[in-house]
Amino acid sequence: MRNQPRWTLPAAVAAAALAATAAAALPAHARHAEAPAGDGPAAAHAAPAAAAAPADWPTYLITVRRGLDPGTVARSYGITPVHVYRHALNGFAAPLSPDQVTALQGTPLVESVEQDGPASGAGATA
């Protein structure tokens, strides 16, 4: 039986290009910060502390590009998610300021930014 490589050259180049684009799209304060492991003192200096969102900020659902960790993307923008999704979609929910919405809409790391609201299913029966 012959072993086949897991990565082909085009796939490896595409992955490297995506990683470079993702790194360039991060905010300046997050570009050079290394992601520390654990809860030690270095973890406190990795990203700026996220301010508590005012109660009047609406909650948004943010879908992050496949292959990126939604929690890491949220933290890199100083956002504290109320929920991180990894199965139904790759993203997070969080109350956002208008400036945060604009920043997330302008980055290639994010596929969509949608204001949260009521949902209903067509043809659903109770």
Pinpoint the alpha helices (H) of 1-126.
9-25, 28-31, 41-44, 70-76, 98-105
> How many Å apart are CA 50 and CA 55, to the nearest integer?
15
> How many Å apart are CA 70 and CA 62, to the nearest integer?
9
Using CA atoms, how far residue 80 sits from 15, 33, 50, 102, in Å, is 27, 18, 6, 17
Question: Given this model, what pLDDT does residue 117 score?
Answer: 86
Question: Given this model, what pLDDT does residue 65 score?
Answer: 96
Point out the residues of the chain with pLDDT beneath 70: 1-55, 124-126
For CA atoms 18, 23, 27, 30, the dihedral sign is: positive
Question: Given this model, what pLDDT does residue 47 score?
Answer: 39
Question: Given this model, what pLDDT does residue 114 score?
Answer: 95
Question: Given this model, what pLDDT does residue 67 score?
Answer: 94
Report yes or no: 93 and 83 within 8 Å, Cβ to Cβ. yes
Question: Given this model, what pLDDT does residue 89 score?
Answer: 92
> How many Å apart are CA 28 and CA 32, to the nearest integer?
8
Question: Given this model, what pLDDT does residue 40 score?
Answer: 37
> How many Å apart are CA 30 and CA 64, to the nearest integer?
17
Report yes or no: 94 and 71 within 8 Å, Cβ to Cβ. no
> How many Å apart are CA 54 and CA 87, to the nearest integer?
29
Question: Given this model, what pLDDT does residue 119 score?
Answer: 78
